[in-house]
Amino acid sequence: MDQHAANILTVDGLNVYYGSFQAVQNVSFSVRQGEIFGLLGPNGAGKTSTLSALEGLLKPQSGTIIVDGNNAAEKPLHAKASLGVQLQSTSFQPELYVMEVLQLYGGIYGLNLTKENVLAILRDINLEDQAFKKFGQLSGGQQQRVSLVIATIHNPRLVLLDEPTTGLDPQSRRQLWERIEAIREKGHAVLLTTHSMEEAESVCDRIAIIDHGRVIAIDTPDALIDKHKNDPEVIAVSRRGKITLEDVFIALTGKAVRG
């Protein structure tokens, strides 16, 4: 049996440089079928560089990326076809109607979406009445819903989400997580970044904490809390009585504010 068969994503020994600066140092992790996996770290820790390498936006100096059984270096088109990507800030054409945005990006993935197809998709996310509104006129939460639909419109096996709930109100955040749970229930996988430790603790099956380009911890949120709950550094930063993932994160990565 292929050792990667149960993994939608395998990253092994990833190294990324910008000139002489090494942004990602020997990073390895895997994301399993039906798993929500969190990649957490302070600003400048290497999260974005890691995601950029996974998306094929930059070429790592060394290391292996396997997406749904496809080596990204050997079969980049196959690997990208198995990926869906939702960036933190959407860059869809604000002057286009929502209907046109979905048809345009569906076409990029080789899908010929009729008006009826698009209305059915929008109905599923409660935005059917916004089909002929310009994308730039949608609220932040509505734009995020459309963005997630576009990221998953080709039914990818792995979805990369970069801080997907930033700026959303509680209702929009809850609805977005329901959509993400639906992706997981298909047996697909989700890799996300977030600065909300509370969110990561409640929704991620496993997390990796990255700092200074290196992965310094990988486990379930509960296991990480249990492992470090008696560390003096964790107890020192805890303010709530009960040890949280945020306490562990700050103890492992430091209190200093990153730029």
- pTM, two decimals, is 0.89
Average per-residue pLDDT for the chain:
90
**3-state DSSP call for residue 6?**
coil
Answer yes or no: is pLDDT of 161 > 60. Answer: yes
Mean pLDDT, rounded, for 203-219: 96
Encoded tokens for 14: 């990833």
Mean of pLDDT values over 207-220: 97
pLDDT at residue 1, rounded to an integer: 34
**What average pLDDT does range 202-218 have in this prediction?**
96
Q: What would the mean pLDDT of 145-173 be, rounded to a whole number?
A: 88
Over 90: is that where the pLDDT of 129 sits? Answer: yes
Whether the per-residue pLDDT at 2 is higher than 50: the answer is no
Instruction: Give the SS3 label for residue 206.
Output: strand
Residues 6+ apart with CB under 8 A from 245: 197, 198, 200, 201, 207, 221, 224, 225
What confidence tier does 39 reach under pLDDT thresholds 50, 70, 90?
very high
Report all structural domains of the chain as residue ranges with CATH numbers, in order of start. 1-82+159-169+190-259 (3.40.50.300)
User: Given this model, what pLDDT does residue 117 score?
Assistant: 94
State pLDDT tens for residues 49-101.
999 999 998 999 999 999 999 999 999 999 999 999 987 656 688 899 999 99
